Amino acid sequence: MLFEYKAKNLKGETVKGIVDALNQEAAMEVLTSRDLIILSLVEGGTKSILRRPINFKINLFSGVKPKDLVFLSRQLSTMVSAGLPLVKCLEILVKQTNDTYLKGVVGAIAEDVRGGIRFSSALAKYPKVFNDFYINMVRAGETAGRLDEVLNYLANEQEKSFDLSNKIKGAMIYPLFVIIMVISVMILMMLFVIPQLTSVLKESGAQLPMSTQFLINTSNFLQHYVIFLIPLIIALVIFLRFFLKTSEGKKIWDKLILKAPVFGLLFQNLYIVRFTRSLGTLLVGGIPLTSALKIVAEVVENSIFKDLIFQTIKDVEEGRSVSSTLIKSSYVPKMVSHLLSVGEETGKLDEVLGRLADFYSREVENILSRLVTLLEPIIIIFLGVVVGGMMAAIILPMYKLAGSF
């Protein structure tokens, strides 16, 4: 809420302005803390353009990179730990942040905090930047008076997640690049090289091998229908994107990911890392178990695991253990369920979750390293078969044609 005020400062000068606070009492506290003697305080007014939170929703590129958020959390935790006031820390961050969108968000948050709004409540205004996990951890830190520790802990966990995501992306770039290049070369050959050879082979009247005939037929099809294939592919991609945003489509896709050979195990371990690390972090922050599980359900980002977590919440609310549902699932290793049960019985669930997160993080890294090692020979074999097959289909009839003279 905005309040217009008229007050006197320590020099006896009359000042006017606007303060943003939750209620009139909070506004009075803010003004008193500024050593102002209040003459009048009424609700209303508008913020100046410079202080008004900017609406960035119209910006198509307004997403905040994980790297920028990690940097922000690390810098904020360092400055708060050094004893700087929170508003001052946020003002410094505005100057140090390069991302235009994030700079505007931090500036608006600084203005809210200066106006008496709690830091966690200010963060909650920007759910696309700060998720429930982040906001609840900050709220727990504020309540316990350990904001610097919580921010440092958040920065550490964000860095671990960021490093793991980068390793997965890095492992996928090479094979994707090779596959795209191979497909591009094949299409170019079908459109420009094969048609030139087709006329020569047809004029010879020689009987063509099945592989060569298949190559020629494919080339003819692409030549005649490529203009229709391109919009069809674009329409299919758009349809899939919309379909995967539906609950049913996402569930099908998430199940396919977990069932996929090799990659299924990789993603299964990745979701377990997210589950254990996020839940452990929230429990350390003092968030109640059921509330923590509800937040983690959104962090995991897989509908199969999300359903499991919601069923686990029901079990916990009915007095059963966390592991009672997880132990029945084929997507959760038995070791995870048994160790969670031990953690509950010993009262050290947060420690067990932390160790499980570390263990499965290493498992993800091991799978990635094995996958990269395995993909190199597979890609070489794939290239050999594709290129060799195409060359054989082209050269074989030419060789037969030359031999007939």
**402 and 257, same structural domain?**
yes
The pLDDT score that the predictor gives to residue 22 is 63
Q: Please indicate, yes or no, if residue 243 is contained in any of the structural domains.
A: yes
Considering the entire predicted model, what is its pTM? Answer: 0.66
Point out the domain boundary residue: 159, 174, 191.
159
**Structural domain count, the chain:** 3
Whether residues 218 and 353 share a domain: the answer is yes
Question: Which CATH number belongs to the domain containing residue 244 in this structure?
Answer: 1.20.81.30
User: Using CA atoms, how far apart are residues 382 and 387, in angstroms rounded to an integer?
Assistant: 8
Q: Are residues 105 and 173 in the same domain?
A: no
Distance of CA 266 to the CA centre of its chain: 16
The amino acid present at 222, given as its one-letter code, is: L
Chain centroid to CA 31: 41
In a domain, 55, yes or no: no
CA dist 22 and 25 (Å) reads 8
Supply the DSSP string of 338-383, one letter for each residue.
Answer: HHHHHHHHHT-HHHHHHHHHHHHHHHHHHHHHHHHHHHHHHHHHHH
**Domain end call among 140, 159, 178:** 159
Query: How many Cβ atoms from other residues are within 10 Å of residue 231's Cβ?
Result: 9
Tell me what pLDDT residue 205 has: 65
**Structure confidence at residue 48 (pLDDT):** 37
The answer on 146 and 189 residing in a single domain is no
What does the pLDDT read at residue 54?
36
- pLDDT at residue 47 in the model: 41
Of 9, 78, 68, 3, which is closest to residue 38 (Cα–Cα)? Answer: 9
Verify that 143 and 248 share a domain, yes or no: no
Same domain membership, residue 184 and residue 105: no
In a domain? residue 201:
yes
Residues 118, 213: one domain?
Answer: no
pLDDT of residue 359: 92
- My answer on whether 365 and 263 are in the same domain is yes
Q: What's the half-sphere exposure (Cβ side, CA atoms, 13 Å) at 209?
A: 16
- Is 236 inside any structural domain? yes
196 and 85 in a common domain: no
Does 52 reside within a domain? Answer: no
Beta carbons of 354 and 280 less than 8 angstroms apart: yes
Annotate 257-301 with DSSP letters as a single string. Answer: HHHSTTHHHHHHHHHHHHHHHHHHHHHHTT--HHHHHHHHHHHH-
Please give the residue range of the domain that contains residue 92: 66-159
- Written as one string, the DSSP assignment of 36-58 is -EEEEEEE-----TTTSPP--TT
Separation CA 286–CA 139 (nearest Å): 10
Measured distance CA(249)–CA(256) in Å, rounded:
11
Structure tokens at 336: 């995870």
Q: Would 386 be classed as within a structural domain?
A: yes
Q: Which three-class secondary structure state does DSSP give residue 249?
A: helix
Under 8 Å between Cβ of 76 and 148:
no
pLDDT of residue 352: 92
Per-residue pLDDT of the chain (405 residues; tens, 9 = 90+): 677 777 777 666 777 777 766 667 667 777 777 667 776 777 765 443 333 333 333 333 345 787 888 888 888 888 888 888 888 999 898 888 888 888 888 988 988 888 888 888 888 888 888 887 788 778 877 877 778 878 887 788 778 778 877 877 777 787 788 778 878 888 887 888 777 777 776 666 667 778 778 888 888 888 888 788 888 889 999 999 898 888 888 889 989 988 888 788 888 988 898 888 888 888 887 788 888 888 888 778 788 998 999 999 998 888 888 888 888 888 888 889 899 989 988 888 889 998 998 899 888 888 888 887 887 788 788 778 877 887 777 777 777 666 655
Q: What does the pLDDT read at residue 58?
A: 30
* 153 and 187 together in one domain: no
Quick one: 134 and 173 in the same domain? no
Q: Are residues 398 and 316 in the same domain?
A: yes
Would 54 be classed as within a structural domain?
no
Q: Does 61 fall in a domain?
A: no
Mark which of 108, 139, 159 sits at the end of a domain.
159
